[in-house]
Amino acid sequence: MSDELVQIETPFAFNEENQREFDELIGRYPIKEAAMLPTLHLAQKQAGYITPAVMKYVAEQLEVTVMKVKDVVTFYPMFFEEPVGEYVIRICHTLPCALRDCKVVLEHLKTKLNTDVASETNLAKGTTVDGKFTLMKVECLASCDVAPVIMVNDDLYKNLTPEKVDEILAKLTS
């Protein structure tokens, strides 16, 4: 049996806290489908990544087809269909950051974490062996004045140098 089928059989449901948040969300929109993005964010927060079971559950909650959910999940780069590390490191490599040497920071991160950069279709490529970090390049993070920047999960780190990267990684691994 393929992995995917196994995953479908592992059911997903919101925990109590998220269910409460979801109930509040759904009341904001005249149609249920409109709550798609916040619901998927919520589900991803709970499940770590969007499994087929999550899609099925979200589809049932929003009264749309699973295909519609899949359609949305594949469009937006912030939704993961594969497992990612505990800390997702997003490094901006667009022009303003490139002008401020984000390449040096990226190379440093790669050697430090001993991993490659994840691509959208292959997140495992950028995930460390211990599953703690996933390194991915993203487009402009709208912090060009403090470039180069990285985002670790929800936190933004500014004006990076290799030394600062060391500090951040030391703090996260301790």
Partner 1 sequence: MVEERRILYEHLDVPDINTFDVFRQYDGYARFEKAIAEYQPDDISKMVMDAGLKGRGGAGFSTGLKWSFVPKDIEPRYLCCNADESEPGTFSNRYVLEKNPHLLIEGILICCYAMGIETTYVYIRGEFTLGKKMLDAAIKEAYENGYLGKDIRGTGLNVDIYSHPGAGAYICGEETGLIESLEGKRGQPRNKPPFPAVEGVFSKPTVVQNVETLCNLPFIVGNGVEWYTKMGPTYADTRSDPPTPDPNTGTKLYCISGDVNEPGVYELELGLTCSELIEVAGGLRGKEVKAVIPGGSSAPILTHYELDTRLDFTSLTLAKSMLGSGGIIVMNETRNIVDCLLNIMKFYAHESCGQCTPCRWGTPWVRDIVQRIADGNGRKDTITRPKFGVAENGRWGDTGETEEIYEDLDLLESVANNIANVDTMTWNTICVFGIAVSWPAVSYLRKFRPEFEATIREGKLVTLPIAEATVPPEENYAYQQRFVPKEFADLEQPSEE
Summarize as ranges the residues that interact with partner 1 (CB under 8 A). Answer: 28, 30-31, 33-38, 40-41, 62, 64, 68, 71-72, 75-79, 90, 93-96, 98-100, 138-147, 151, 154, 156
User: Any residues with CB less than 8 A from the CB of 158 and at least 6 apart, and which?
Assistant: 143, 146, 149
Closest to partner 1 by CB, 13 vs 99, is 99
The position carrying tokens 């140098």 is: 161
CB 30 within 8 A of CB 16: no
Provide the minimum distance between the beta carbon of 117 and partner 1 in the complex, in angstroms, as a whole number.
13
**Beta 87-92 vs 150-152: how paired, if at all?**
antiparallel
Do 141 and 91 meet the contact criterion of CB atoms below 8 Å apart? no
Which is closer to partner 1, CB of 40 or CB of 54? 40
Nearer to partner 1, 17 or 130 (CB): 17
